[in-house]
């Protein structure tokens, strides 16, 4: 049951990020300075948490690859 709820939360977060209504459905309007994009950031956090629940770790994409040329 918990896996189903996590999948639903991930789908809702993905749908909110994709925003097919072109901004019709907004929790916090984007034209408010400094806090306008917090709702999209939280949707990304929820989506990443859902991936991590299913052992899909995307943190390697955010790490910088530094090679030692010695």
pLDDT score of 9: 93
Decide if 22 is inside a domain: yes
- Residue range 2-59, pLDDT digits in tens: 889 999 999 999 988 887 556 666 666 777 777 777 888 888 899 999 999 998 887 7
The residue segments making up the domain with residue 11 are 2-58
Task: Let me know if residue 64 belongs to a domain.
Answer: no
Q: Is residue 31 situated within a structural domain?
A: yes
User: Number of H helices and number of E strands within the chain?
Assistant: 2, 0
Biggest distance spanned by C-alpha atoms of the chain = 54
Look at the chain and report how many structural domains it folds into: 1
The pLDDT of residue 59 is 74
pTM above 0.75, yes or no: no
Q: Is residue 65 part of a domain?
A: no
């Amino acid at each position: 049951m918990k896996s189903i709820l996590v999948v639903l939360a991930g789908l809702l977060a993905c749908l909110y990020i994709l925003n097919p209504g072109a901004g019709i459905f907004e929790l916090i309007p984007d034209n408010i300075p400094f806090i306008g994009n917090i709702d999209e950031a939280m949707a990304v956090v929820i989506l990443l948490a859902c991936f991590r629940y299913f052992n899909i770790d995307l943190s390697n994409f955010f790490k910088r690859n530094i090679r030692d040329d010695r």
